[in-house]
């Protein structure tokens, strides 16, 4: 329903719109999301959203804005994939990508994970411990906060903001007032923007406009990162996924 509403608002004069949504996949994601939210309600999580993008065609294949559209108690009619939310640590990979692009680090470059203060701002890791010297690869895999903030500071502080503006993130404000906490989720983005940015890593660093209707035509996109940097970041994130899958199986 959320996707249908957005299409109606975007194409009010059209009597019929052929979209990129795949019906079977859409139904599957809707059912999966509802099932997972029911499991998570005991943890206080009452809603969720999901989108699926084809990295080859750049088409939006599924878009679910909430677990139950008609559930007023859990605000089911709020479109969760367009609602601004804190990204948490989801922007960290792009700071590391910028660092590699600028030649500041490589995956095996050592970073400091020690207490630090930036003009009164003192970032801490989630477990409030420090690892001393740690490779960029391990810092990203472990989602350490301090090395990510240090790297953003070395990049000039505004590098992440400028990247998101270049990637057409419309959920962030036109004026950069986020500072270093931005890399730890100190801003608001929406799920569709974030997923589209991640898809650039799978496309050798090139960001393509998201396709939502058939026969839109694919543009050349814009190169955000080099293919080599995109490969390195993707490999590190794949290691995280593999580790998590192994732990779950065990």
Decide if 121 contacts 178 (C-beta within 8 A): no
- Asked whether the whole model's pTM tops 0.85, one would answer yes
pLDDT of residue 241: 61
Residue 90 CB neighbours (<10 A): 16
Gap between the Cα atoms of 235 and 57, Å rounded: 22
Say what the pLDDT of residue 177 is.
Answer: 87
List the chain pLDDT tens, one digit each, 250 residues: 999 999 999 999 998 999 999 999 999 999 999 999 999 999 999 999 999 999 999 999 999 999 999 999 999 999 999 999 999 999 999 999 999 999 999 999 999 999 999 988 999 999 999 999 999 999 999 999 999 999 999 999 899 999 999 999 999 998 888 999 999 999 999 999 999 999 999 999 999 999 999 987 777 899 999 999 999 999 999 987 655 444 444 3
For residue 157, what pLDDT is reported?
A: 85
What pLDDT score does 217 carry? Answer: 73
Residue 132's contacts (CB-CB under 8 Å, 6 or more residues apart) are 112, 113, 114
What pLDDT is recorded for position 242? 53
Spell out the residues 6+ positions from residue 152 whose beta carbon is closer than 8 angstroms to its own.
95, 159, 160, 180, 182, 183
CA distance 226 to 88: 25
As given in the structure block, the two tokens for residue 179 are 């500072």
Could you write out the DSSP letters of every residue in 135-159?
Answer: EHHHHHHTT-HHHHHHHHHHHTSSH
């Amino acid at each position: 329903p959320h996707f249908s509403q957005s299409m109606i608002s975007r194409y009010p004069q059209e009597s019929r719109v052929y979209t990129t949504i795949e019906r079977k996949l859409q139904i599957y994601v809707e059912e999966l999301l509802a099932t997972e939210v029911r499991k998570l309600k005991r943890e206080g999580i009452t809603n969720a959203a999901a989108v699926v993008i084809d990295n080859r065609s750049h088409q939006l294949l599924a878009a679910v804005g909430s677990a139950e559209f008609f559930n007023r108690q859990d605000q089911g009619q709020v479109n969760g994939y367009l609602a601004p939310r804190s990204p948490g640590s989801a922007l960290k990979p792009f700071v590391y990508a910028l660092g590699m692009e600028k030649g500041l680090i490589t995956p095996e470059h050592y970073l400091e994970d020690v207490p630090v203060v930036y003009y009164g701002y003192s970032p801490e890791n989630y477990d409030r411990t420090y690892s001393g010297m740690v490779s960029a690869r391990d810092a990203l895999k472990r989602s350490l906060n301090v090395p990510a903030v240090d790297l953003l500071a070395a990049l000039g502080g505004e590098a992440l903001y400028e990247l998101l503006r270049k990637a057409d993130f419309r959920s962030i404000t036109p004026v950069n007032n986020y500072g270093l906490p931005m890399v730890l989720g100190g801003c608001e983005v929406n799920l569709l923007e974030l997923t589209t940015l991640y898809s650039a890593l799978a496309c050798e660093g090139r960001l393509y406009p998201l396709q939502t209707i058939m026969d839109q035509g694919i543009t050349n996109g814009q190169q955000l990162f080099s293919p080599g940097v995109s490969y390195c970041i993707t490999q590190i994130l794949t290691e995280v996924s593999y580790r998590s899958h192994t732990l779950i199986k065990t």
